[in-house]
Amino acid sequence: MEHKKVADVQLYINGEFIHAAGSGYFDNKNPFTNEVINRIAKGDRSDIEKAATAAQEAFLNGPWGSMKLKDRMMYIERIADLIDEEVDEIAILETLDTGLPISQTRKMVGRAAENFRFYSRMVQTRMHGDAYQVDDEFINYTVYQPLGVVGLITPWNAPFMLTTWKIAPALATGNTVILKPAELSPLSANKIAGIMKKAELPKGVFNVVHGFGETAGDALVKNEKVKAISFTGETTTGKTIIRNAAGTLKKTSMELGGKSPLIVFDDAEFERALDAAVWGIFSFNGERCTANSRVFLHKNIKDKFVSKLKERVDNIVIGDPAAPETQIGPLIDHSHFNKVSGYIEMAEEEGCAIYQGSVPEAVKAGNFVPPTLLLEASNDMRICQEEIFGPVMAVIEFETEEEVVRMANNVEYGLAGYVWTNDIKRGHRVAQAIDSGMLWVNAQNVRDLRIPFGGMKASGIGREGGHFAIMEFYTEPKAIHVAMKDHHIPQFGKKK
Ligand code: NDP
């Protein structure tokens, strides 16, 4: 992909782009060529401390904390407008940085501005407390107050979209923010910093500290000034963060890995189920938390479905992620390529038949894994139990509803699930029986921003989206009790 030179990236702290305290940089590579795109400032503990001091000052003494709601929302909406102006540029950077096909990054980035507009509306209309009349003696009421400085830690797989899911509710509710983006996808996070500067957000309200998880991320989690961590990433990292957050007793929100089932019954609308199964694992290069990586096919339709899956796999366009026709691009980096390839080898050892597309010779410098079917899989294989996070679909046959529900649930994760059937009773029944945070019946993963997003079991704790983000995570509900009469107060120690 031809692209104009991308400048080195600095940290963004207290409204300024600055070098990391240690002055170090790390290389950022293009997954399509494995060549260096630019260098990224390597933040560490002292940069996190600097950002936390700035963010705390902005919260306690800056204008942000005391700003009128409508003025704060003007900033939120200005951010949305600025994103809209830069959608094309951000999408190109995201593709360059991650290898996600440009047709897909354009759509994702195009929706990000709406996250800000949505939370502007949400905070103005939905973030209200309750009042409780207690006989004629008391009135109790609740208010929702921001937490203070919040830390956001994000992954590389859909960086801009996921980051804005967190920034929009965090800022709209009045918090100040430190973002630690994934080291493998820093470019769009740097763009957000630029947008915040253009929007003239008061200094210290929004900060970005690039760097590694084990240093910058770790310091953010352990920093005393930071009141909460919203994390999206791998389950093992989430466990580490929860342990490390315990030292300062932080609130945490966890959006973690998945191994989601897609179940096709023999009465399902065949072509639509096929489209959804293919899109749900091969879009975003399969690096998708809600990917339907386990596809359960009823035995009556299995052979026909598999032969159609093979046809699709043969025809998926693999290539330069910047080309508009590309459907699958390269994986994020070489070590992830090795991990995904290792699982395909493991599938063969575990007894699967492998069916793959082929990667064109011309693009072999990139981290390409072709779309892959792991056929004749059984649910207890490691390739059906562990998150592969690539364009790899395991196909499992089933006969009865009871059997498929048992297999779908027999996994550590519980993020998403998809059920295809024309039997309305069965659709609801199976959706309700599957242990996942989100289920779709006769639908692919289409999401309304009002709906809670997140998983159960090893896929997460808490929900993002809708009023859940603003009322259950980014604010503290406070109860105020007011006496209206002289109620009884015990008089300890009073002389009779
Ligand atoms: P990781 O868990 O490797 O990294 C996520 C973020 O955490 C990165 O910024 C990383 O920094 C940082 N980090 C790593 N170690 C620590 C630490 N000890 N303390 C603080 N921060 C740390 O996830 P990936 O980036 O590999 O993302 C892919 C994963 O994300 C998949 O498992 C996927 O399922 C999940 N995901 C879940 C979603 C959901 O909503 N449930 C949505 C999207 C993805 P660095 O980059 O430097 O390592």
Q: Return the amino acid letter for 417.
A: G
Residue ranges and CATH numbers for the domains of the chain are 11-256+459-480 (3.40.605.10), 261-441 (3.40.309.10)
Percentage of residues in the chain with pLDDT exceeding 90? 98
Question: What is the tens place of the pLDDT at every residue in 309-338?
Answer: 999 999 999 999 999 999 999 999 999 999
Entry pTM: 0.97
- Spatial contact of 52 and 60, defined as CB atoms under 8 Å apart: no
Q: Which of these ranges, 3-7, 283-287, 453-457, 465-469, has the smallest mean pLDDT?
A: 3-7
Cα–Cα distance between 189 and 154 in angstroms, integer?
Answer: 10
Cα–Cα distance between 88 and 94 in angstroms, integer?
Answer: 10
Cα 488 to averaged position of ligand 1 atoms, centre (Å)? 54
| Strand-pair category, 206-208 with 392-398 | unpaired
- Spatial contact of 470 and 126, defined as CB atoms under 8 Å apart: yes
Cα 233 to averaged position of ligand 1 atoms, centre (Å)? 3
Cα 185 to averaged position of ligand 1 atoms, centre (Å)? 11
Ligand 1 site, residue 188, Cβ cutoff 6 A: no
Tokens, residue 332: 């994020």
- Spatial contact of 308 and 262, defined as CB atoms under 8 Å apart: no
The active-site residue, picked from 94, 183, 255, 350, is: 255
Residues 461-478, mean pLDDT to the nearest whole number: 96
* pLDDT at residue 5, as a whole number: 83
**Residue 397 is a catalytic residue:** no
Tokens, residue 489: 């107060």
Ligand 1 site, residue 182, Cβ cutoff 6 A: yes
Ligand 1 site, residue 464, Cβ cutoff 6 A: no
Tokens, residue 408: 């779908």
| Strand, coil or helix: 153 | strand
* pLDDT at residue 135, as a whole number: 96
Which numbered atom of ligand 1 lies nearest the CA of 221? 20
Ligand 1 pocket mutation pick from 229, 232, 285, 457 by most atoms within 8 angstroms of CB: 232
Question: What is the tens place of the pLDDT at every residue in 86-114?
Answer: 999 999 999 999 999 999 999 999 999 99
Cα–Cα distance between 53 and 47 in angstroms, integer?
Answer: 10
Ligand 1 site, residue 333, Cβ cutoff 6 A: no
Cα 94 to averaged position of ligand 1 atoms, centre (Å)? 17
